[in-house]
Chains A and B, each alone.
Chain A
Amino acid sequence: QQQVKQSPQSLIVQKGGISIINCAYENTAFDYFPWYQQFPGKGPALLIAIRPDVSEKKEGRFTISFNKSAKQFSLHIMDSQPGDSATYFCAARRGGNTPLVFGKGTRLSVIA
């Protein structure tokens, strides 16, 4: 049973465009929703995270939009750059000593 469903599996965006990756979850006990970025040959690194008490969080060109009623959250990358080409994972967890549950990842390619 996949607790966090991520789409699309891959995405090609023109330089300067907007990249959008979506995730949906089932467990209403989740209270922390991060996005991780992974470059080839590296481990994933935290990009941005949100809690369900806000609907949007922005850090530079990266924005998380959160819809609690729909149990969905998404990552928007504005003015996408070739350096943003990476694999992106959404995740979620409950409180306490619980592990993150990850989506299957989206491979983003930003082409010039």
Chain B
Amino acid sequence: DVKVTQSSRYLVKRTGEKVFLECVQDMDHENMFWYRQDPGLGLRLIYFSYDVKMKEKGDIPEGYSVSREKKERFSLILESASTNQTSMYLCASRTTVQGNEQFFGPGTRLTVL
């Protein structure tokens, strides 16, 4: 079974803090994605990565950065957390070898106070 794990299920941070959200997948997938999920807005793509050390901006990259030093790990960084970044963050991965299925992690609910 493909497994996508996220470092925290719940996280509470203060405004201005630097926040790291970690995602690890165990299936050697090339593509990895970070989405945020907000009520009524669905899943919005923040950043994605085709492969190691590669990254592309999604629809809402402002205030975020990413890092992919190893194939299995994709980190989302909030450089200076703000209250409007309070949200559910979902990581996903996908292989390019066969199929199109994106596998999602369980999500990290981040609250910025």
Name the CB-closest residue of B to A1: B59
Encode contact with B along A23-44: 1 for CB under 8 Å, 0 otherwise. 0000000001010100001111
Report the stretch among A13-21, A59-67, A93-101 that lies at the interface.
A93-101
Interface string of A86-107 (1 = CB under 8 A from B): 0001000100010111111100
- Contacts from A to B (Cβ < 8 Å): 6, 9, 32, 34, 36, 41-46, 49, 89, 93, 97, 99-105
Count A-B pairs with CB separation below 8 Å.
50
Question: Do A97 and B43 have beta carbons less than 8 Å apart?
Answer: no
Q: Is the CB of A42 within 8 A of B106?
A: yes
A93 to B105, CA, bound (A): 20
* Chain B residues bordering chain A, tally (CB within 8 A): 25
Mask of B6-36 contacts with A, CB within 8 angstroms, 1/0: 0000000000000000000000001101010
Q: What is the distance, in angstroms, from A104's C-beta to the closest C-beta of chain B? A: 4
